[in-house]
Chains A and B, each alone.
Chain A
Amino acid sequence: MATHAVHHHAPPVGFLRKYVFSLDHKVIGKQYYGLALVAVFLGMLLSWLMRLHLGWTNLAIPGLHFLSKTGAAGDVMTPEYYLQLMTMHGTIMVFFVLTTAPFAAFGNYFLPIQVGAEDMPFPHFNMMSFWVTLAGFLVLLSSFFVGDGPSLAGWTQYAPLSAVGAVAGPGQGTGEILWASSIALFCIGQLLGSLNFIPTTLDLRAKGLSLGRLPYTVWAWFITSCMALAAFAVLTPACIFLILDHVAGTSFFVPSNLVINDQLQPHSGGSTLLWQHLFWFFGHPEVYIAIVPGMGIVSHILSTNIRRPLLSYKVIVGSMVSIAFLSYMVYGHHMFVSGMNPISALAFSFPTLIITIPATIIVLMWIGSLYGSKIRINAASLFALGFISVFVTGGVSGFFLAQPSIDIMLHATYFVVGHFHLVMAVAAMFGIFAGTYFWFPKMFGRMMNETLGKLHFWLTFVGAYAIFMPFHYLGLAGNVRRYQAFVDDYTQSLIPLHKFITVAALATGAAQLIFLYNLIHSRFWGKPAPLNPWEATSLEWSTPSSPPPFDNFGSTLPVVYHDAYQYGVHSSTGDYLMQASPEELPAEAKE
């Protein structure tokens, strides 16, 4: 039985409306994915340059002077240019990859389909969301070519360095204003996205699709939207304050009597900690904005591949909600060394340890579900398993950092870099890869090459550990982060390890070319995909074609009869029952 399709907008006509300024959530999702793909390779290239410099400080990197004549004269990067590349690497990766791909790209493409809707409720806002985000990306990139390059203040942009202007170093004038403008634009773009995601989930669900029947991914995108709503709404005014300190001479973040390069700064009374409060109120939820969609994707893919529901749907969803709620109460753990009152530190340490409980529960649910299962091994399920591995490994070091007394020693070292790269960056990337291998057949109507996918997984999995596990040892040995080179002191003995990491980073990065090749080759020459290649149950596999038509379900909208994960049952289709199938659930499955 089916309900009418009520067309939200007419079929797109003309090249521009179809492929450029499209109102179709699927095209917008692909546009976001394309943006993230460009951004991730750019961010990776920057990390290569940084790693080469860390391993071989005076190495001339051919062609580097094309990027910056002053920052890399003679193709050897200056210390300041190293910091500029580091800032851009962090900013591009956190905002334009880890937020854009799992949340905006996959969410845009699959949220409406998984709830059985024809599109988002406000397609024009949705289109604006992408174009404003793209504008933010281009503004950020433009800082490479304007004045003395991009900002060097790190992706956290701590004041007063970020707020005093060109006197603070290369890129701190125009580059800094461009950074803040770019992020303000990005925030507006993501707010417009949330404006669509939340009503889509609440109001556009197909008949029969109660909240308890939503796939994990829909819950994850919905929860992420709620987090994004609050987080980006706070970062936006912070960026505006930063811009005003630069262009209007205000003193939000710059204190009195600040002397930089022998120049007394014309500001008074500002609070450097104010920036940290505003930034981290956004910054910590941002970590979960990056990872919660990955948790949803992994849960979705695991359930499909172990051919049975995960241990407890309600517990997993409840844990994701708890993580989102608690993520706003822990941000002070980024500020343990800011001179905060020890009681405040304790107040932030406690919820930080508490938030590990729902995260641990989700992991236990995954592992418990895997126990005794006959998992189907494919590229998507391998990356889902890899996600669990790196999330646990990176998460364990979080227990140490959550305690102020230990964090004070480890705070500005590579230990922290290793921690967040594994738990947030690599884990989120694994979620993106898993999602790509899983949904590619639906997005493009063709299968990706599984052999290449598995090769890509193993090289990336081993490579990620080879890069980021040594970071923990470096940190424990006292290797301070953000240094561009190691002078003749105790860090000398650590340089061989840095060289090893650099080689591992180059190799792991090169392995991503396999993925890129697989992606492009499969897009045009891949094996045609059946409608439901993974024998999955959720609504995206009920569309009449792959990729789905502009209105997703053609002339009819689906009606949902079952939970999202009816695997391990006996039905006419095999061991699963699709959500939109009117077939009665076998009696034993109901019990």
Chain B
Amino acid sequence: MRQHQGKTSDSLIFSSSVADTAVTKAPVESPRLGFDGGRWDNTAPPASLDRRLADWSPPQASSAIWVLIAAIIMTFAAISSALIVRQGASLDWRHLALPRILYANTGVLLFSSFSLLIAGRRFASSRFVDARIWLYVTLAAGLLFVAGQWDAWLQLRSQGVYLATNPNSSFFYVLTVAHALHVIGGICGLTYVIRKANRLALRKNTFAALCRYWHFVDLLWIYLMVLLIVKI
């Protein structure tokens, strides 16, 4: 079996005793740990699975999501520091009355994180139908958030506040659009997870990676709201 250095055993399905001495070529197909097995923690696969296979999804997906989060943090840190430099560079900085819907959107996004947490708990307690329902609720909340952001942009537009109107409006649009794109990325990931769950082929670590990303994007929005309120 494939051994992953420095990782906990939950990234592996089986113990390594068989694999160390075996030299036969493993089948190409990788295991699918569905919820139908009653377990989804990757430790007790259905007996039908080849016991010599490792789950390829776990540790790499987990590391990669941290890599992705680090890159996103750097991007938004760069934009934030640019905002501070730009604000201090000139006297043309004006405060913007934020559309009220942004506060509602914040609530929707917070709720989506909450519903994703519930989905995770349902999975953990093997209530898979409930879990999928909460995934759909999360998806709806994510879509509602993006629609709400769209409405905020339309409101500002109707007030004559465009991208180039003043520096703070420029940063408002850049920050909110960049964040919305990341939420859309999360929605794509969530759609993938739902599809896998419907096929009973979802892996724990794929779901964990999505959760980590989704909650991060949620926290990022909280940070951005504070930034928008204080600076924009």
Contacts and interface: CB of A to CB of B under 8 A. Distances in A.
B23 A556 contact: yes
A83 interface: no
A195 B68 contact: yes
B85 A273 contact: yes
B74 A6 contact: no
B163 A269 contact: no
Interface in B143-167: 163-164, 167
A251 B167 contact: yes
Given A3-B2, A5-B25, A238-B78, A250 B163 contact: yes
Contact of A250 (B11, B26, B170): B170
Interface in A180-214: 191, 194-196, 198-200, 202-207, 209-211
Nearest to A556: B23
A204 B60 contact: yes
A248 B174 CA distance: 12
A189 to B, nearest CB: 13
A554 to B, nearest CB: 8
A274 interface: yes
B4 interface: yes
B59 A199 contact: yes
B79 interface: yes
How extensive is the interface on chain A, given as a class? 35 or more
B140 to A, nearest CB: 28
Contacts of B30: 6
B137 interface: no
A271 B63 contact: no
Contacts of A7: 26, 28
Contacts of A255: 89-90
A13 interface: no
Contact of A233 (B60, B75, B93): B75
B70 interface: yes
B23 A202 contact: no
Nearest to A251: B167
Interface in A1-30: 1-8, 10
A246 to B, nearest CB: 11
Contacts of A559: 20
Contacts of B104: none
A113 to B, nearest CB: 15
Contacts of A240: 174
Contacts of A248: 163-164
Contact of A278 (B2, B60, B78, B93): B78
A198 B63 contact: yes
B64 interface: yes
Contacts of A191: 71
Contacts of B170: 244, 250-252
B225 interface: no
A243 to B, nearest CB: 11
Contacts of B24: 4, 555
Given A4-B19, A248-B163, A234 B74 contact: yes
Interface of A: 1-8, 10, 121-122, 191, 194-196, 198-200, 202-207, 209-211, 229-230, 232-234, 236-238, 240-241, 244, 248-252, 255-256, 268-271, 273-274, 277-278, 281, 555-557, 559
List of 4 A-B pairs having minimum Cβ-Cβ separation, nearest first = A269-B90, A121-B60, A271-B89, A233-B74
Interface of B: 1-7, 11, 16, 19-26, 28, 30, 52-54, 56, 59-61, 63-64, 67-68, 70-72, 74-75, 77-79, 81-82, 85-86, 89-93, 163-164, 167, 170, 174, 178
Given A4-B1, A195-B64, A199-B64, 8 more contacts: A191-B71, A205-B5, A209-B5, A250-B167, A268-B90, A269-B89, A556-B23, A559-B20
